[in-house]
Amino acid sequence: MNFEALEVVGTKERDRQAKLQGRIFCCTSTACMSAGAGQVHTMLDQAVAVSQSDEFETEVVKTGCMGLCSHGPVVRAEEKDKAAALYGNVNPELAQQIVSRHFPVEEALEEIDSDEPDQSVTPHDIPHFRASLRKAQAKTELDKNIISLEDPFFTKQVRVVLSDTGRIDPDRLEDYLAHGGYQGLAKVLETMTPEEVCTEILESGLRGRGGAGFPSGIKWNFVRQEEAEQKFVIVNGDEGDPGAYMDRTIMEADPHRVLEGMMICAYAVGADYGYLYIRGEYPMAIERIRNAIRAARRHGVLGNKVLGTDFSFKADVRIGAGAFVCGEETALIHSVEGKRGMPRIRPPYPSKSGLWSAPTVINNVETMANVPSIIQNGATWYADIGTEKSKGTKVFALTGHLRNTGLIEVPMGITLREIVYDIGGGIPGDKEFKAAQTGGPSGGCIPAEYLDTPVDYESLTELGSIMGSGGLVIIDDSTTMPDFAKFFMDFCVDESCGKCLPCRVGTVQISKLLDKLISGEGQPEDLDKLDELCQMVQTTSLCGLGQSAPNPVLSTLKYFREEYDTLVQSPETVEAGVK
Amino acid sequence: MTLTQSNTIEQKEVFLELTIDGQTVQTRPGSTVMEAALANNIDIPRLCYHPELSVSGGCRLCVVNVEGYPNPTPSCGLACEDGMSIQTQNEELFQTRREIIDLFVAEHPLDCVTCDKAGSCQLQKYAYEHNIKETSHAFELPRTLYQDDNPFFVRDHQYCILCGRCVRVCDEVVGAHAIDFAGRGFECHIATPFDGPMKDSACVFCGNCVQVCPTAALNPVSRMGKGREWELERIKTICGYCGVGCQLEYALKDGEILYAQATSDGPVNGEMLCTKGRYGWDFATDPQRLTSPMLRRDVAYEMGLTKEDWTLPEESPLKVRKPNIEDSFVPVDWDTALDLVADKLADTVKEYGPDSVMGLASARCTNEENYLFQKLFRLGIGTNNLDHCARL
Amino acid sequence: MTNSIAEIRDADCIFITGSNTAEAHPVISYEVIRAVKRGANLIVLDPRRVPMVEHATLFLQAKPGTDIYVFLAMMHVMLREGWANEAFIAERTEGFDEFKGTLEEYTPERASLMSGVPVKQIEAAARIYANGERAEGKSAYIGSRGHSAILYAMGITQRSNGTDMVMTLANLAMLCGQVGKPSTGVNPLRGQSNVQGACDTGCLINVYPGYQKVTDDEKRKAIAQTWGVDDLPGEVGLSIVEAMQATAEGKVRATYVMGENPMMSDPNTSHVEESLRKLDLLVVQDIFPSETAFLAHVILPAAASLEKDGTFTNTERRVQHIKPVLQAPGEAKPDWWITGEIADRLDKKLGVERETEQWLFPSTEAIFDELTKVTPIYAGMNHARLVGEGLRWPCTDEEHPGTPILHVGKFSRGLGKFSPVTANDPAEQPDDEYPLILSTGRVLYHYHSGTMTRRSGPLDWVQPRGYVEIHPEDAAAIDVLDERAVTIESRRGSVRTRAKISENVPQGTIFLAFHWREAPANMLTQDFALDPVSKIPEYKVCAVRLENPRTKQRSPKPVMEM
Residues B100, A216: Cα–Cα separation, whole Å: 35
Residues C32, C8: Cα–Cα separation, whole Å: 6
Burial class (CB in 10 A: 0-12, 13-18, 19+), C295: buried
Taking 80 as the threshold, does the pLDDT of residue B172 lie above it?
Answer: yes
Taking CB atoms within 8 Å and a gap of at least 24, the contacts of B295-300 are: B295/B329, B295/B330, B295/B332, B295/B336, B295/B337, B295/B340, B295/C297, B295/C298, B295/C299, B296/B328, B296/B329, B296/C296, B296/C297, B296/C298, B297/B328, B297/B329, B297/B330, B299/B340, B299/C297, B299/C298, B300/B329, B300/B330, B300/B332
The β-bridge partners of A409 are A395
**Is C259 part of any domain?**
yes
Which of B258, B263, B362 is the best substitution to test chain C (most C C-beta atoms within 10 A)?
Answer: B362
Angle at C353 between CA C347 and CA C355, to 5 degrees: 90
Which among C432, C438, C429, C425 is positioned nearest to C505, based on CA atoms? C438
Say if residue C215 is in the same domain as residue C184. no
Say if residue C242 is in the same domain as residue C148. no
Query: Taking CB atoms and an 8 Å cutoff, what residues of chain C touch A355?
Result: none
Identify the CATH number of the domain in which residue C207 sits.
3.40.50.740
Say if residue C144 is in the same domain as residue C290. no
Say if residue C223 is in the same domain as residue C289. yes
Domains in chain A with CATH codes: 20-149 (3.40.30.10), 180-383 (3.40.50.11540), 393-475 (3.10.20.600), 481-575 (1.20.1440.230)
Q: What is the pLDDT of residues B241-259, one digit of tens each?
A: 999 999 999 999 999 999 9
Instruction: Tell me the average pLDDT across A41-58.
Output: 81
Chains that touch A (3 or more CB pairs under 8 A): B, C
Quickly state the pLDDT bin for C562 (edges 50, 70, 90). Answer: very low
Q: What is the pLDDT of residues B255-282, one digit of tens each?
A: 999 999 999 999 999 999 999 999 999 9
Say if residue C252 is in the same domain as residue C157. no
* CB distance A6 to A182 below 8 Å: yes
Quickly state the pLDDT bin for A442 (edges 50, 70, 90). Answer: confident
Query: Taking CB atoms and an 8 Å cutoff, what residues of chain C touch B389?
Result: 192, 195, 240, 260, 265, 448
**Secondary structure class of A179 (helix, strand, coil):** coil
In the prediction, which pLDDT does B388 show?
Answer: 87
Say if residue C207 is in the same domain as residue C324. yes
Residue in A closest to B98 by C-alpha:
A536
The β-bridge partners of A472 are A398, A438
Please state which CATH class domain B232-289 belongs to: mainly beta
Say if residue C299 is in the same domain as residue C250. yes
**Is C554 part of any domain?**
no
Taking 90 as the threshold, does the pLDDT of residue A129 lie above it?
Answer: no
* Number of domains chain C contains: 3
CA distances from A110 to A45, A113, A125, C318 (A): 21, 10, 11, 103
Chains that touch B (3 or more CB pairs under 8 A): A, C
Q: Which residue spans of chain B are classified as CATH 3.10.20.740?
A: 16-89
Burial class (CB in 10 A: 0-12, 13-18, 19+), C388: exposed
Average confidence score pLDDT of chain A: 89
- Output the pTM of the full model: 0.91
In the prediction, which pLDDT does A200 show?
Answer: 95
CA distances from B343 to A48, B348, C341 (A): 116, 9, 12
Quickly state the pLDDT bin for B2 (edges 50, 70, 90). Answer: very low
In the prediction, which pLDDT does B5 show?
Answer: 34
Quickly state the pLDDT bin for A83 (edges 50, 70, 90). Answer: confident
Report which of residues A464 and A492 the model is more confident about.
A492
Report which of residues A121 and A41 the model is more confident about.
A41
Domain B109-226 bears CATH identifier 3.30.70.20: yes
In the prediction, which pLDDT does B4 show?
Answer: 31
Quickly state the pLDDT bin for B8 (edges 50, 70, 90). Answer: very low
Say if residue C383 is in the same domain as residue C481. no
Q: Which range among A39-48, A124-133, A361-370, C383-392 shows the weakest confidence by mean pLDDT? A: A124-133
Please tell me which of the candidates C144, C305, C444 has its beta carbon nearest to residue B204: C444
Minimum distance, in Å, between the CA of residue B11 and any CA atom of chain C: 7
Instruction: Tell me the average pLDDT across C327-348.
Output: 96
Instruction: Tell me the average pLDDT across A391-410.
Output: 93
Quickly state the pLDDT bin for C95 (edges 50, 70, 90). Answer: very high
Give the contacts of A114 (CB within 8 A, at least 6 positions apart): none
Which among A490, A444, A489, A447 is positioned nearest to A467, based on CA atoms? A444
Which among A488, A492, A515 is positioned nearest to A502, based on CA atoms? A492
Q: What is the pLDDT of residues C260-271, one digit of tens each?
A: 999 999 999 999
Quickly state the pLDDT bin for A469 (edges 50, 70, 90). Answer: confident
Domain residues for the domain of C214 are: 195-392
Say if residue C141 is in the same domain as residue C263. no
Residues C305, B143: Cα–Cα separation, whole Å: 42
Q: Which residue spans of chain B are classified as CATH 2.20.25.90?
A: 232-289
Which of A346, A490, A504 is the best substitution to test chain B (most B C-beta atoms within 10 A)?
Answer: A504
Which among B95, B308, C350, B272 is positioned nearest to A539, based on CA atoms? B95
Query: Taking CB atoms and an 8 Å cutoff, what residues of chain B touch C277?
Result: 312
Q: What is the pLDDT of residues C124-144, one digit of tens each?
A: 999 999 999 999 888 999 888
Q: Which residue spans of chain B are classified as CATH 3.30.70.20?
A: 109-226
Taking 80 as the threshold, does the pLDDT of residue B12 lie above it?
Answer: no
Q: What is the pLDDT of residues B196-208, one digit of tens each?
A: 999 999 999 999 9
| CB–CB contact A356 C136 (8 Å) | yes
**Is C407 part of any domain?**
no
Please tell me which of the candidates B173, B245, B288 has its beta carbon nearest to residue C288: B288
Q: What is the pLDDT of residues B344-359, one digit of tens each?
A: 999 999 999 999 999 9
Establish if C138 touches chain A: CB-CB under 8 angstroms.
no
Q: How many A/C residue pairs have CB atoms within 8 Å?
A: 4
In the prediction, which pLDDT does B1 show?
Answer: 30
Give the contacts of A172 (CB within 8 A, at least 6 positions apart): A295
ipTM score of complex? 0.94
* CB distance C486 to C551 below 8 Å: no
Q: What is the pLDDT of residues B80-131, one digit of tens each?
A: 999 999 999 999 999 999 999 999 999 999 999 999 999 999 999 999 999 9
Residue in A closest to C138 by C-alpha:
A228
Chains that touch C (3 or more CB pairs under 8 A): A, B
Say if residue C121 is in the same domain as residue C200. no
- The strands making up A393-400's β-sheet, listed across from edge to edge, are A406-411, A393-400, A471-476, A433-438, A445-447
In the prediction, which pLDDT does A132 show?
Answer: 75
Task: Out of C143, C162, C189, pick the residue that ends a domain.
Answer: C189
What percent of chain A is modeled with pLDDT above 90?
68
Query: Taking CB atoms and an 8 Å cutoff, what residues of chain C touch A357?
Result: 39, 136-137
Q: What is the pLDDT of residues B18-33, one digit of tens each?
A: 999 999 999 998 899 9
Say if residue C244 is in the same domain as residue C320. yes
Residues C98, C468: Cα–Cα separation, whole Å: 44
In the prediction, which pLDDT does B240 show?
Answer: 93
Query: Taking CB atoms and an 8 Å cutoff, what residues of chain C touch A356?
Result: 136
Task: Out of C133, C156, C189, pick the residue that ends a domain.
Answer: C189
Task: Out of C169, C189, C209, pick the residue that ends a domain.
Answer: C189
| CB–CB contact A496 B60 (8 Å) | no
| CB–CB contact C191 B242 (8 Å) | yes
* CB distance C303 to C336 below 8 Å: no
Average confidence score pLDDT of chain C: 93
Q: What is the pLDDT of residues C486-510, one digit of tens each?
A: 999 999 999 999 999 999 999 999 9
Instruction: Tell me the average pLDDT across C337-366.
Output: 95
Domain B16-89 bears CATH identifier 1.20.120.140: no
| CB–CB contact B185 A495 (8 Å) | yes
| CB–CB contact B186 A509 (8 Å) | no
Establish if A190 touches chain C: CB-CB under 8 angstroms.
no
Identify the CATH number of the domain in which residue C509 sits.
2.40.40.20
Taking 70 as the threshold, does the pLDDT of residue C560 lie above it?
Answer: no
Query: Taking CB atoms and an 8 Å cutoff, what residues of chain C touch B294?
Result: 298-299, 301
Quickly state the pLDDT bin for A54 (edges 50, 70, 90). Answer: low
Q: What is the pLDDT of residues A489-523, one digit of tens each?
A: 999 999 999 999 999 999 999 999 999 999 989 98
